[in-house]
Amino acid sequence: MNIVVSGSHGFIGSALVGSLTAAGHRVTRLVRGERSAATAGDAEIVWNPEASYVDTAKLEGQDAVIHLAGEPIPGRWTPRKKARILESRFKGTRLLSEALAQLAQPPQVFVSGSAVGYYGNRSDEILREESSTGGGFLAQVCREWEGATDLAAKKGIRVVRLRIGVVLGTAGGALGQMLFPFRLGLGGRIGSGKQYMSWIALDDLVGAIQHVLATASLQGPVNAVAPNPALNAEFVKTLGRVLSRPTIFPLPAFVVRLVFGQMGEEALLWGQRVEPARLKASGYTFRYPTLEGALRHALGKA
């Protein structure tokens, strides 16, 4: 397949591009630039969401587009940071959706990233793709992010909105940030530890994306999480066991709120118990369905 990928140099994108290339696909990267395609390489497409520009000529005839770009979530959510988080996702996704809808030869499938934050804070409720959205800033971002794909869907392109959980890999994401204190024996549960963490091994996320590309029956929201979500306390205990380190230093909720503000509240203290119903029903087999197995693989402790 000829596949276009945005966010191709990020934590997920880098792993995905490597896997797609190894599988024999031809990958073209969406790269940010000025309103000109003159300096782009053969395997690059210039785009600039702020200027509402994308080199549509190079999008013609592509088989698939995978959109993963967006402002990182971590960091204190100042008004400016929140605007960047929302606008980077909405503007970029809308720009691609509009561009794809105008093509004479549009791709067969448009896979657009989203997140389990769509569901808000839901305690121990089991959440599937048909579950309602929740409250909070992340849920708002996800709703607008997903809604920005509508023009491509109306064109008849198969659109998949991938609601991604906590991705386990050492090169980035939540696990990458947790490793330093945990390796020092300074890790512990966050808040009560009773909030669910819906996670997925990086290799399984890459595999799920390739499964989505190849499975014509999958469209709309698809939960990209492993089948066994874990309470934060369980996640922390398992990580400590894999690292052979104690996990006796909890991070109280009031400290999370004081240090991280709203980001800490929604990203660290809120939880979602998400089930990958559509991935399972479509026949995807998880390589790392258990938390300990996924952590041991990610950390080379198998």
| Prediction pTM value | 0.95
> In terms of pLDDT, which residue wins out, 21 or 40?
21
Confidence of residue 302 (pLDDT cuts 50, 70, 90): confident
Q: What is the pLDDT of residues 65-83, one digit of tens each?
A: 999 999 999 999 999 999 9
Q: What is the pLDDT of residue 42?
A: 78
Tokens of 227: 């089948």
* Structure confidence at residue 37 (pLDDT): 54
Q: How confident is the model at residue 28 (pLDDT cuts 50, 70, 90)?
A: very high
d(CA 65, CA 213): 9
Distance in Å from the first CA to the final CA of the chain: 33
Q: What is the pLDDT of residues 39-70, one digit of tens each?
A: 567 799 999 999 999 999 999 999 999 999 99
- The strand order across the sheet containing 64-67 reads 53-54, 44-48, 26-32, 2-6, 64-67, 109-115, 158-164, 220-224
- Domains of the chain plus CATH, in order, are 2-298 (3.40.50.720)
Q: What is the per-residue burial (b if ≥16 Cβ within 10 Å, else e) of 242-271?
A: bbebebeebbebeebbeebebbbbbbbbbb
Q: Is the pLDDT of residue 38 over 60?
A: no
Residue-wise pLDDT for 194-210, tens only, equals 999 999 999 999 999 99
Per-residue pLDDT averaged across 137-148, rounded? 97
Q: Tell me: the pLDDT tens digits for 206-250?
A: 999 999 999 999 999 999 999 999 999 999 999 999 999 999 999
What is the per-residue pLDDT across 72-125, written as a single tens digit (0 to 9) for each?
999 999 999 999 999 999 999 999 999 999 999 999 999 999 999 999 999 999
